[in-house]
Structure 1
Amino acid sequence: MAKISANEIRIGGLIEHQGNLWRVLKKSHVKPGKGGAFVQAELKDIMNGTKLNERFRSTDKIEKPHVEPRKMQYLYAEGQDYVFMDNETYDQMSIHADDLADQVGYLLPNTDVQINFYDETPIGVDLPANVILEVTDTEGVVKGQTAASGGKPAVLETGIRITVPTFVNIGEKVKVNTETGEYVERA
């Protein structure tokens, strides 16, 4: 098994911790005023579904289990299941929304992703670093409002909410970082 630093764990990725396999549901970097930086991660046990909030020092080494990556394409949602197709064999498979967690907000039909398999079981989805989504709802700009206000809330076509600069309007496409959920640029 390979070891990675705590800073390298990714949302949707898999780690081995306390003898179990865990999927990373959420991750944030914390730099306290005193002491060293650390990574706060919300983990979900692959086998029994229990959740765990764990704090790793940035210098901690984490076990990364050997997984088989397969290039797949997201096709469509069917209720709470998301259907993917293997790009080589054209086989289709479903992954439940609970197993995708916050990643569903970045999935548009025909998006290429990497799905990681462990013993032929799909255990995680690696999204592209950025995705392009259309703004479906946001506030208009009030004349005289300064651009330095830090942005405004916006709803994207998949239903996720992000903060965008004041010059972004409904119908425009924006690039969003799938790791942080932050606006990158207009697309």
Structure 2
Amino acid sequence: MKIDGNAIRPGNVIEHKGGLWRAVKIAHTQPGKGGAYLQVELKNLRDGTKLNERFRSSEKVDRVSLEQKDYQFLFADGDMYNFMNQESYEQIAISAEDIGDDAVFLQDGMVVVIEFHEETPLGVSLPDKVTLEVTETEPVVKGQTASSSYKPAILENGLKVGVPPFVNAGDKIIVNTVEREYAGRAD
């Protein structure tokens, strides 16, 4: 579907320079000389490269709609991750390269959203928060207050995050998958 260059919004997927790109950030700019334009930061859905482009309202761009389906994570086999469609029970395998750094958060049975373009899987969207166990952390230093002084901790998936002083090894915590940081204690 063709849209005006100034109609791009964050999250939109467009076809540009022979590839599929997701708009990450946009900024409307109106310089003193010349016409207004939209400065867009784009991220390639295939290789993750970023690109900054200017689009004028007179330009037309191809907006692509992606099909989103719920899949359940089954298991990892080498550098391939296997998922099952929750409705048809069809299984697909996606490479670690296509999933990227988010693969560390995948847990058995986790339901994720996989985006498809013309039956080709492009990416995996994880839940915003996951529960993980702290495997290693430093002991509390006496006199250290609970105010914004975080200590380093290593989680069961190998990720390092800052946690409050009251969190100990063996505790389960909630981690924000987007920001990759401590979000709270798990019940």
Structure 1, gaps ≥5 residues long: 29-38, 57-61
Q: Any conservation in 1 of the 2:67–2:116 contact (CA below 8 Å)?
A: yes
Distance 1:183 1:80 in 2: 27
The 5-angstrom pairing of residues 2-81 of structure 1 reads 5-6=9-10, 9=11, 15-16=13-14, 18-19=16-17, 20-22=19-21, 43-46=43-46, 49=47, 51-54=49-52, 65-81=64-80
Larger Rg: 2
> How far apart are residue 141 of structure 1 and its match?
0.9
Change over 3 Å in CA distance of 1:91–1:159 after alignment to 2? same
- 1:134/1:172 contact within 8 Å kept: yes
Q: Distance in 2 between matches of 1:55 and 1:172?
A: 45
Q: CA deviation at 1:4?
A: 5.6
Separation of aligned partners in 2, 1:40 and 1:174 = 36
Q: Indicate how the Cα distance of structure 1 residues 73 and 45 shifts in structure 2: closer, same or farther if over 3 A, else same.
A: closer
TM-score by length of structure 1 reads 0.74
Amino acid at match of 1:81: M
Q: Secondary structure at the match of 2:154?
A: strand
Q: Measured at CA, do residues 127 and 50 of structure 1 come closer, stay the same or move farther in structure 2, by a change above 3 Å?
A: closer
User: 1:103 maps to what in 2?
Assistant: 102
- Residue equivalent to 1:139: 138
Q: Over residues 91-141 of structure 1, what are the superposed CA-to-partner deviations in whole Å (9 max), with x where a residue is unaligned?
A: 211111111112112111111111111100111111111111111111111
- State percent identity of aligned pairs: 41
1:121 lines up with 2:116 in the alignment = no
Counterparts of 2:98 and 2:111 in 1: how far apart (Å)? 18
Q: Is the 8 A contact 1:15 1:22 kept in 2?
A: yes
Give the distance between the partners of 2:50 and 2:142, measured in 1 at CA: 47
Q: How many residues are treated as equivalent by the alignment?
A: 163
Higher RCO (CA 8 Å, separation ≥ 6 residues): 1
**TM-score when scaled to structure 2?**
0.74
> Which residue identity is paired with 1:166?
P
